[in-house]
Amino acid sequence: MAYDFDLFVIGGGSAGVRCARISAGHGARVGVAEERFWGGTCVNVGCVPKKIMVNATEYGQWAEDAAAFGWDLEVKGHDWARLAEARNREVARLSGIYGKLLAGNGVTTFDARAKFLDAHTLQVGEQRVTAERILIATGGTPQRLEIPGAELGLISDDLFTLKALPKRVVVIGAGYIALEFACILRGLGAEVDVMYRAALPLRGFDDDIRTAVVEALQGQGMRLNPDVSPTRITQVNGHLMVAMSNNFMREADAVFFCTGRSPNTAGLGLEEAGVETNASGAVVVDEDHRTSQAHIYALGDVIDRVNLTPMATATGHALADTLFGNKPRKASYDDVPTAVFTNPPIGTVGLSEAEAAARGPVDVYVTRFTPMRHTISGRQGRRTLMKLVVCQKTDKVLGAHMLGEDAAEIMQGIGIAVRMGATKADFDRTIGIHPTAAEEFVTLRTRAREAGVQPPSQQAAE
Ligand code: NDP
């Protein structure tokens, strides 16, 4: 049977666009449907507009700190509307580039929702199309908690349509989005409460980073509320009241639910196509990103694996090369460097101390210091933490973690070293760049502790 397309991609985000573009470059006939905005979450309501707002907070701090370096600046305040206009212009520019990239590579684009009619047929807006292979790359959507009054709360998309800075904000959750949003809103002048159910923020990150980020957030005047969940939101005299499980209340002008994202699989007709999902709605795939139908693939946040843009683009590119480029390959999910754009940011790659110690004995190297800039500025909450987790047996660096200025930029290079299997001795014989914070990663000489070494009797008891 002749199909309309060799590949049809549902979703014009990071994974879908990359896979479509590269597949078309390899000569495939490719169609892509996008119902909302080209570029997906990253470009439109995620990484890009978020980072612009993070940058905005940095200027405010530099302007304040400049006095200590002899500058006489007058800061009259921040204009939210001007920032929003600049941010939206850049987002529109990038979203347009995504559309043009596809057209330039001969991809047929559809500004429409796609839905499976059967395993090879899709309803795309008013049209019916067939495809030999189909890629599901529909991403995810932020979730509110199911509590009374949840509809009064905002989700992350809403930050980018707010007309003004809310004066008092409650952020619910303590993952990537929660902490980044808390820092943006605080950095632009809001009073911020962060409310989370665990004892420390950022579950899954190294415990030293989790502890250090608490100090950093408190240092900039945020109120942290660990070990609680919100139980109800009500509207009182034009304000919101958030009731907490510890019976305390918080008054706020805006409440953000930053409590995770769910895969966009509802209403896609996956049952008609015979594509399986798991209990959280994510499409189930094998290591080649094949779904339960061998010719249907899924990538990006909709598979809920490593929900990061560069992972989506890397896997999308690899799939295109495999299917149409005669270059079968996989993008590895191991040692993926990542950053949380808090203030200061966090950068991390590889295993946390706890993860590494569960696999065997490790040596831990840690340093904490105030960056030179802030010994001058006197700004609080800016202490840097840097940490290496090293395998005792092989001397390999299993994990590198940093909270501090430029952590995201520094960790990209460290990520290459960790990925290549660099040893602590390799780090040690690398000459530092002076004076930088980054040089501390190659001058960590004193072992802070040994972890993961337990007598056999204790292991048996656990
Ligand atoms: P995360 O999984 O990072 O955080 C979700 C937060 O919500 C956690 O603190 C979690 O708590 C909390 N939560 C979940 N369910 C409940 C509940 N029922 N009651 C109370 N609290 C709850 O998700 P995000 O939405 O912040 O981000 C989604 C993903 O997007 C990230 O995992 C990341 O992969 C990606 N991302 C990456 C960024 C970057 O690269 N800088 C920036 C933003 C997002 P608990 O930990 O206790 O479960």
Chain segment 137-176, per-residue pLDDT in tens: 999 999 999 999 999 999 999 999 999 999 999 999 999 9
Residue from 289, 295, 374, 434 carrying the catalytic annotation:
434
| Residue 259 CA, ligand 1 centroid: distance in Å | 5
**Amino acid 346: pLDDT:** 98
CA angle 265, 266, 267 (to 5 degrees): 115
Q: Which of 45, 228, 259 to mutate to test the pocket of ligand 1 (most atoms within 8 A of CB)?
A: 259
Name the band, by pLDDT with cuts 50, 70 and 90, for residue 381. Answer: confident
Nearest residue by C-alpha to atom 30 in ligand 1? 307
Q: Let me know if 239 is a catalytic residue.
A: no
| Residue 323 CA, ligand 1 centroid: distance in Å | 33
Ligand 1 neighbours by CB, cut-off 6 Å: 145, 173-178, 180, 196-198, 203, 229, 258-261, 307-308, 338-341
**What proportion of the chain, given as a percentage, has pLDDT over 70?**
98
Q: Which of 197, 200, 229, 403 to mutate to test the pocket of ligand 1 (most atoms within 8 A of CB)?
A: 197
What CA–CA distance (Å, rounded) separates 311 from 332?
Answer: 9
Is pLDDT of 47 > 90? yes
Name the residue with tokens 């599901």: 136
**Amino acid 99: pLDDT:** 83
Q: Which atom of ligand 1 is nearest to the CA of 156?
A: 25
Domains and CATH numbers, the chain: 5-142+262-324 (3.50.50.60), 150-258 (3.50.50.60), 338-449 (3.30.390.30)
Nearest residue by C-alpha to atom 8 in ligand 1? 175
Q: Which atom of ligand 1 is nearest to the CA of 339?
A: 41
**Amino acid 461: pLDDT:** 45
Name the band, by pLDDT with cuts 50, 70 and 90, for residue 452. Answer: confident
Q: Which atom of ligand 1 is nearest to the CA of 260?
A: 25
**Amino acid 454: pLDDT:** 65
Nearest residue by C-alpha to atom 16 in ligand 1? 259
Nearest residue by C-alpha to atom 36 in ligand 1? 176
Mean pLDDT of 175-202: 98
**Amino acid 460: pLDDT:** 45
Mean pLDDT of 395-400: 98
Name the band, by pLDDT with cuts 50, 70 and 90, for residue 118. Answer: very high
Nearest residue by C-alpha to atom 7 in ligand 1? 259
Nearest residue by C-alpha to atom 23 in ligand 1? 260
Is pLDDT of 458 > 90? no
Per-residue pLDDT of 295-311, as tens digits, reads: 999 999 999 999 999 99
| Residue 46 CA, ligand 1 centroid: distance in Å | 13
**Which neighbouring-strand residues pair with 296?**
134
| Residue 283 CA, ligand 1 centroid: distance in Å | 19
Q: Which atom of ligand 1 is nearest to the CA of 306?
A: 34
| Residue 361 CA, ligand 1 centroid: distance in Å | 30
Q: Which two tokens stand for residue 354?
A: 């706890």
Q: Which two tokens stand for residue 396?
A: 């390999």
Question: pTM for the full model?
Answer: 0.96
Per-residue pLDDT of 329-380, as tens digits, reads: 999 999 999 999 999 999 999 999 999 999 999 999 999 999 999 999 999 8
Is pLDDT of 134 > 90? yes
Per-residue pLDDT of 83-100, as tens digits, reads: 999 999 999 999 999 888
Cβ burial, residue 268 (10 Å; 0-12/13-18/19+): buried
What CA–CA distance (Å, rounded) separates 194 from 256?
Answer: 10
Q: Which of 176, 213, 306, 307 to mutate to test the pocket of ligand 1 (most atoms within 8 A of CB)?
A: 176
Name the band, by pLDDT with cuts 50, 70 and 90, for residue 453. Answer: confident
Is pLDDT of 456 > 80? no
**Amino acid 76: pLDDT:** 92
Nearest residue by C-alpha to atom 38 in ligand 1? 176
| Residue 172 CA, ligand 1 centroid: distance in Å | 10
